[in-house]
Structure 1
Amino acid sequence: MQVAVINRSHHPLPAYQTEHAAGLDVRANLDAAVTLAPLERALIPTGLYLEIPPGYEAQVRPRSGLAYKHGIGIVNSPGTIDADYRGEVKVLLVNLSNEPFVVQDGERIAQLVFARHETVQWQQVAELSETGRGAGGYGSTGTR
């Protein structure tokens, strides 16, 4: 799959870190370090601009190492970058730990995973088909 990209950062393009990795690691593009206090959010620029093919999205996902070691996540995870968006890719980080965290320029802060998606055409009906589960949800499958 080919994706057109403009890289206005001073870092290499996102890259897969291992042969079978699903996500490309994305780096922070900062003029100065950003400190996230506990429970604070910040929109971190990457300097990347994408032209995603129609029928695809780029999912912005947290990095497991940052989550495990520092409690750093992404507020709207996974975030979606639509095929018609042409602005800068930014990552909405949140500090879920009890300690401040400093985001450094060039730090790998997220992953991009590209995925195909369908476009829905609604079909309004009066009733839905029956299933064994029915309307049971939120833990209902483990109670019998």
Structure 2
Amino acid sequence: MRSRGFEVVKKYQNAQISLPERKTKGSAGYDISCAVDIIVKKKTFEFVPTGIKAYMLEDEVLEVYPRSSLSFKKKLVKLNSVGIIDSDYYNNPDNEGEIMLILYNYGDEDVLIKKGERIAQGIFMKYLTVDSDDTKVKRLGGFGSTGN
């Protein structure tokens, strides 16, 4: 039985997308890369595709953090600070569960992110629920769908 991991979404099956990996034995985060060359224009934001999705146990979450070099080297910040990838985001009907990052360019020049460039780190975590939690609603959409 599979516990947790990454897969390439169908849209990028033939695009030579690298699955996230830890660079050292002591690393908590799996490095996540950009799926395509993309330009983030100055003072604007872009949805940056990764071409990957994550599967995990029902009581787990993947937390996605920007790489520290993104801000001081490229003048890019991740708009929602930490991305939360829920277990039921995997294979959702809207986007197959592709992990996307919203990056804002606060600099004075356009920034090119190259395909394969590491832009984030993902850390799998267990989470807890309260005793009275009896949520039975199922996810029906993709990115931002539970905010309604």
C-alpha contact 2:34 2:114 (8 A) present in aligned 1? yes
SS of corresponding position for 1:97: coil
Q: TM-score, normalised by structure 2?
A: 0.73
2:108 pairs, out of 83, 98, 111, with 98
Shift in Å, 1:19? 2.2
1:23 pairs, out of 25, 29, 39, with 29
Equivalent residue number for residue 107 of structure 1? 117
Equivalent residue number for residue 60 of structure 2? 56
Equivalent residue number for residue 85 of structure 2? 81
Letter in structure 1 aligned against 2:129: T
Equivalent residue number for residue 5 of structure 1? 6
2:38 pairs, out of 10, 34, 37, with 34
Letter in structure 1 aligned against 2:116: G
Shift in Å, 1:85? 0.6
SS of corresponding position for 1:19: coil
Q: TM-score, normalised by structure 1?
A: 0.75
| Cα distance per residue 1:9-68 (max 9 Å; x no partner) | 4122101122211111111111xx221122211111111122221111101101011212
| Aligned-residue CA RMSD (Å) | 1.9
SS of corresponding position for 1:115: strand
Letter in structure 1 aligned against 2:102: L
Letter in structure 1 aligned against 2:29: G
Q: Which runs of 5+ in 1 are unaligned?
A: 124-144
> Structure 1 120/80 Cα, relative in aligned 2: closer, same or farther at 3 Å?
same
Identity %: 30
Shift in Å, 1:108? 0.7
Distance in 2 separating the partners of 1:18 and 1:119: 32
Q: Which runs of 5+ in 2 are unaligned?
A: 91-96, 134-148
SS of corresponding position for 1:65: helix
Who wins on radius of gyration, i.e. which is larger? 1
Letter in structure 1 aligned against 2:8: N
Distance in 2 separating the partners of 1:22 and 1:96: 28
SS of corresponding position for 2:89: coil
| Cα distance per residue 1:90-124 (max 9 Å; x no partner) | 1111112222111111111111011111112459x
